[in-house]
Amino acid sequence: MEYAENILGTIGNTPLVKLNKLVEELPCLVLAKYETFNPGNSVKDRMAVKMIEDAEADGRLKPGGTIIEGTSGNTGMGLALAAVVKGYKTICVISDKQSKEKMDILRAVGSKVVVCPTNVDPEDPKSYYSTSKRLAEETPNSWYVNQYDNLSNTAAHYESTGPEIWKQTDGKVTHFLVGVGTGGTISGVGKYLKEQNPNIKVWGIDTYGSVFKKYHETGIFDENEIYPYITEGIGEDIIPKNVNFDVIDGFTKVTDKDAAIYTQKLAKLEGMFLGNSAGAAIKGLLQLKDQFKKDDVVVVLFHDHGSRYVGKMFNDEWMRDRGFIEDKLTSAQDVINNHLDKPLITVKTEELVSHAIERMKAYKISQIPVEDSSGFVGAVDEADLLRKYIENKDISNLPIKEVMHKPFPIVSKNTPIEAISKLFDRDNNAVLVKLSNDEYQIITKYDIISVL
Ligand X SMILES: Cc1ncc(COP(=O)(O)O)c(C=O)c1O
Q: Is the dihedral of CA 203, 208, 212, 213 positive or negative?
A: positive
Name which position in 183, 209, 279, 378 contacts ligand X (CB under 6 A): 183
Window 113-152: residues binding ligand X (CB under 6 A):
none
Tell me how far, at minimum, the Cβ of 303 lies from ligand X, in Å: 4
Dist CA 161 CA 16 (whole Å): 11
Output DSSP code: residue 211.
S
Does 185 sit near ligand X (CB under 6 A)? yes
Span interacting with ligand X, options 180-188, 217-225, 249-257, 328-336, rule CB under 6 A: 180-188
Instruction: Tell me if residue 100 is catalytic.
Output: no
Dist CA 391 CA 411 (whole Å): 33
Query: Of 207 and 367, which CB lies nearer to ligand X in the complex structure?
Result: 207
The maximal CA–CA distance of the chain, rounded, in angstroms, is: 92
H/E stretch holding 262: helix 256-270
Span interacting with ligand X, options 5-13, 82-90, 182-190, 309-317, rule CB under 6 A: 182-190
Among residues 10, 292, 54, the alpha carbon closest in space to that of 158 is found at 54
Any residues with CB less than 8 A from the CB of 187 and at least 6 apart, and which? Answer: 154, 157, 158, 242, 243, 244, 247, 248
| Residue in the shown chain whose Cβ atom is closest to ligand X | 233
Name which position in 38, 169, 182, 263 contacts ligand X (CB under 6 A): 182
Span interacting with ligand X, options 89-97, 183-191, 340-348, 406-414, rule CB under 6 A: 183-191
In the set 18, 21, 44, 257, the catalytic residue is 44
Query: Of 273 and 389, which CB lies nearer to ligand X in the complex structure?
Result: 273
Does 76 sit near ligand X (CB under 6 A)? no
Do residues 173 and 297 lie in contact, with contact meaning Cβ atoms separated by under 8 Å? yes
Does 206 sit near ligand X (CB under 6 A)? no
Name which position in 12, 65, 179, 284 contacts ligand X (CB under 6 A): 179
Q: What is the contact mask toward ligand X in residues 264 to 303, using x (rule: CB under 6 A)?
A: -----------x-x-------------------------x
Q: State the amino acid at position 38 in one-letter form.
A: N
Query: Of 303 and 312, which CB lies nearer to ligand X in the complex structure?
Result: 303
Among residues 303, 185, 301, the alpha carbon closest in space to that of 244 is found at 185
Does 233 sit near ligand X (CB under 6 A)? yes
Dist CA 106 CA 117 (whole Å): 18
DSSP string, 287-356: HTGGG--TT-EEEEEE-BBGGGGTTTTT-HHHHHHTT-S-----BHHHHHGGGTTSPPP-EETTSBHHHH
Query: Of 136 and 186, which CB lies nearer to ligand X in the complex structure?
Result: 186
User: Residues in contact with ligand X, total (CB under 6 A)?
Assistant: 17
Name which position in 31, 52, 180, 357 contacts ligand X (CB under 6 A): 180
Does 207 sit near ligand X (CB under 6 A)? no
Among residues 383, 435, 445, the alpha carbon closest in space to that of 412 is found at 435
Q: State the amino acid at position 437 in one-letter form.
A: N
Torsion of CA 262, 263, 269, 274, to 10 degrees: 150
* The 347-348 sheet, strands edge to edge: 347-348, 367-372, 375-381
Span interacting with ligand X, options 179-187, 288-296, 337-345, 432-440, rule CB under 6 A: 179-187
Tell me how far, at minimum, the Cβ of 383 lies from ligand X, in Å: 46
Does 252 sit near ligand X (CB under 6 A)? no
Burial class (CB in 10 A: 0-12, 13-18, 19+), 111: buried
Query: Of 234 and 432, which CB lies nearer to ligand X in the complex structure?
Result: 234
Tell me how far, at minimum, the Cβ of 84 lies from ligand X, in Å: 20
**Binding interface with ligand X (CB under 6 A):** 44, 72, 74, 179-186, 233-234, 275, 277, 303-304
Catalytic annotation, residues? 44
